[in-house]
Chain A
Amino acid sequence: MLETATLEQILERHGRDPANIIAILQDIQAEVNWLPEENLRYVCDVLQIPPSKMMALATFYRAFSLEPRGKHIVQVCLGTACHVRGAVRILGAVERELGIEAGETDENLEWTIETVGCLGACALGPIVVVDGEYHGQMTSAKASRVLQRAKKAGDNGTGE
Chain B
Amino acid sequence: MNHRISGPDDLARLREELQRERHPEQPTLAICAGTGCQAYGVNRVIEAFQTELAAHGLGERVKVLPTGCPGFCERGPLVVVKPQGIFYQRVKLADVPDIVEKTLLQGEVIDRLLYEDPQTGQKVVHEAEVPFYALQQREILWINGLLDPTQIEDYIALGGYSALIKALFEMSPDEVLAAVKNSGLRGRGGAGFPTGRKWESCRRAEGEVKYVICNADEGDPGAFMDRAVLEGNPHSVLEGMLIGAYAIGNCREGYLYVRNEYPMAVENAGLALEAARAYGLLGENIAGSGFRFDVQIRRGGGAFVCGESSALMQSLQGNVGEPQAKYVRSVERGLWERPTTLNNVETWANVPLIVAKGWEWYAGIGTEGSKGTKIFSLVGKINNTGLVEVPMGVTLRHIIFDIGGGIPGGKQFKAVQTGGPSGGCVPEDMLDLAVDFDELDKAGSMMGSGGMIVMDEDTCMVDIARYFLDFLKEESCGKCVPCREGIARSLEILNRICQGKGRAEDIDLLEELSETIGGFSLCALGRTAPNPVLSTIKYFRHEYEAHIFEHRCPAGVCKALIEYWIDPELCTGCGACTRVCPQEAIFGQKKEPHAVTRSDCIKCGACYDVCRFEAIKIRSGEVEPAGVASPAPAVEA
A26 to B263, CA, bound (A): 13
Cβ of B606 under 8 Å from chain A: yes
Q: Is B222 within 8 A of A93, CB to CB?
A: no
Question: In this complex, what residue of A is CB-closest to B467?
Answer: A83
Q: Tell me the bound Cα distance from A2 to B38 in angstroms.
A: 32
Give the residue name and chain of the A residue nearest to B606 (CB): A140
Give min CB distance, B269 to chain A, whole Å: 14
Would B39 and A92 count as touching, CB distance under 8 A? no
Q: A96-B604, A122-B377 are in contact. Are A62 and B609 (CB under 8 A)?
A: no
Q: Do A123 and B261 touch across chains, with their CB atoms under 8 A apart?
A: no
Whether, in the assembled complex, A80 has its beta carbon less than 8 Å from a beta carbon of chain B, the answer is yes
- Chain A at the B interface: SS class: helix
B580 touches A141 (CB 8 A): yes
Are B220 and A118 touching (Cβ within 8 A)? yes
Say yes or no: is B455 at the interface (Cβ < 8 Å to chain A): yes
Stretch at the interface among B104-112, B316-324, B438-446, B537-545: B316-324
B528 at the interface (CB under 8 A from A): no
CA distance A81 to B327 in the complex (A): 36
Contact status A84-B455, CB under 8 Å: yes
| B315 within 8 A of partner (CB) | yes
Determine which of A80, A117, A134 lies in contact with B35 in the assembled complex, contact meaning CB atoms within 8 Å.
A134
Q: Which of A13-21, A66-74, A149-157 makes up part of the contact surface?
A: A13-21
**Which residues of chain B have C-beta atoms less than 8 A from A22's C-beta?**
298-299, 301, 315, 318
Answer yes or no: A32 CB below 8 A from chain B CBs: no
B38 CB contact (under 8 Å) in A86, A96, A134, A139: A134
Q: From A18, A26, A84, A116, give the contact of B380 (CB < 8 A).
A: A84
The verdict on B633 contacting chain A, using a C-beta distance below 8 Å, is: no
| Most chain A beta-carbon contacts within 10 A, residue among B74, B451, B606 | B606
Q: Please pick, from B299, B303, B320, B386, the residue contacting A62 in the complex, using a CB distance under 8 A.
A: B303
Quick one: closest B residue to A26, CB to CB? B299
Q: Is B471 among interface residues, defined by CB-CB distance under 8 A?
A: yes
Q: Which of A56, A78, A124 has its CB near the most chain B CB atoms (within 10 A)?
A: A124
Do A135 and B39 touch across chains, with their CB atoms under 8 A apart? yes
Question: B221 in the interface, Cβ–Cβ < 8 Å?
Answer: yes
Establish whether residues A57 and B320, one from each chain, have CB atoms under 8 Å apart when the complex forms.
Answer: yes
* Contact partners of A117 in chain B: CB under 8 A: 219, 221, 304, 471, 475
Nearest-neighbour CB distance to chain B for A46, whole angstroms, equals: 14
Complex interface: chain A residues within 8 A of B464 (CB) = 80, 83-84
Q: Is the CB of B261 within 8 A of A93?
A: no
Q: How far is the CA of A22 from the CA of B84 in the complex (A)?
A: 48
Look across to chain B and name the residue whose beta carbon is closest to the beta carbon of A129: B39
B260 located at the interface, meaning its Cβ lies under 8 Å from any Cβ of chain A in the complex? yes
A64 to B303, CA, bound (A): 10
Instruction: Give the chain A neighbours of B35 by CB distance below 8 A.
Output: 119-121, 134
A1: CB under 8 A from chain B?
no
Looking at A61, A78, A79, the one whose CB has the most chain B CB atoms below 10 A away is: A79
Shortest CB-to-CB span from A143 to chain B, Å, is 9
* B73 with A123: CB separation less than 8 A: yes
Interchain nearest-CB distance for A120 vs B (Å)? 4
Q: Is there a chain A Cβ closer than 8 Å to B588's Cβ?
A: no
Is B547 interfacial (CB 8 A cutoff)? no
Which residues of chain A have C-beta atoms less than 8 A from B222's C-beta? 79-81, 118, 122
B459 with A84: CB separation less than 8 A: yes
Q: Which 7 A-B pairs have the closest CB atoms?
A: A61-B301, A123-B73, A79-B221, A134-B39, A62-B302, A120-B224, A136-B39
A-B contact pairs, 27 of them (CB 8 A): A18-B318, A22-B315, A22-B318, A25-B301, A61-B303, A62-B474, A64-B301, A80-B379, A80-B417, A80-B453, A81-B221, A84-B380, A84-B453, A92-B606, A116-B302, A118-B219, A120-B259, A120-B262, A122-B222, A122-B223, A123-B36, A123-B73, A124-B36, A124-B76, A136-B39, A140-B605, A141-B580
Q: Contacts A92-B604, A121-B36, A141-B580 known; list 19 others, CB within 8 Å.
A: A57-B320, A62-B303, A62-B474, A63-B260, A78-B221, A78-B471, A81-B221, A84-B459, A117-B304, A118-B219, A118-B224, A121-B38, A122-B221, A122-B222, A122-B377, A124-B39, A139-B610, A141-B609, A141-B610
Residues on B close to A: CB < 8 A? 35-36, 38-40, 73-74, 76, 218-224, 227, 259-263, 298-304, 315-321, 377, 379-381, 385-386, 417, 420, 451, 453, 455, 459, 464, 467-468, 471, 474-475, 477, 580, 582, 604-606, 608-610
